[in-house]
Amino acid sequence: MIAPLATSLEQMIKAQAFGLGFDLVGITTLGPVETSAAFEDWLASGYAGDMAYLARGAEKRADTRRPVPGTTSAIVVGMDYGGREPAGPVARYARGDDYHDVMIDRLNALHRYVDTVVGRQIPGKAYVDTGPILERDLARRAGLGWFGKNTMLINPRLGSFFFLGELLLDLELAPDAPFEADRCGTCRRCLDACPTNAFPEPRVLDATRCISYLTIELKGDIDEALRPVIGDRLYGCDVCQEVCPWNVQFSRGLVEPAFGARAAIANKDSRTLAREILAMRDEDFQAAFRGSPMKRAKLRGLQRNASAVLSAAESRDSGALDDRRLNDSSGLAES
């Protein structure tokens, strides 16, 4: 009789994470953050724009043991949000329910599972894009991918259309090997495709020129010089991910129902959605986008974006009309 193979705690945790709907999972040991100095330099360069909150918690950010004292390990997860979904006026990540809520609930469920398996309550805390944690650094150390030239974490089996989250625990766990390779090579498609030239160099993003920042985080008016190139993007931008060969080859269709487009967005082109948003009152906005990441821009931000989208569309229409008139007059001149 062949004895069954022993299953480690780490294997059990990963199996449970996949069962909860996560698409990637790795484990790393907490400690000093390799990219902390680069992040501080990025802030000092002014690339964060109005996002002053990013500067908070620098001391904790420099060491992942500090946000939750006593924790020693991190279970880092990724959840796919459907890179094969068609492009549209709203970035793919924001079309459904707020990923913070979806992932925190499941990370808390994973925490309860760890408590049950270990037989005691394990101190710890789940984070999803919150708190003074450089998540990409943790994810790379947990073996989930490398930093692409567009600054996104890229996984060789999944691309980059996924969210990151982590569960910090006061529990010694065997870490996975970090992802050491850089698989971007000489490719620079993401850099060249950016409509606003938001990458001053590979792996450095000037957020003040990024369409996602301009349509979500920026509180004031959008620079007039940048409005035409924003085009029909009403909330966020996926261009640097769409052109990445790793996403072209390996991104997936939408599987998680929570991230499917809600009725207020689904199957609407940019002009239709822009007009509907401009007609909204606050109560309409609250009802349409309850539990949506799009609430971050608030109604006034979305209406600013909607106005920019319609203005850009009118300019394109006017230019196309002028071209047709020119062609028509050229034809008459020849007859």
Active site residues: 129
Kindly report the backbone phi and psi dihedral angles of residue 97, in degrees, each rounded to the nearest multiple of 5, phi listed first. -75, 160
Beta strands in the chain (DSSP E): 24-29, 73-80, 124-127, 146-147, 153-154, 162-169
User: Nearest to residue 277, comparing CAs of 286, 285, 269, 267?
Assistant: 285
DSSP 257: G
DSSP 200: S
DSSP 32: B
DSSP 279: T
Beta-carbon neighbour count of residue 133 at 10 Å? Answer: 24
Q: How far apart are CA 85 and CA 251, in angstroms?
A: 10
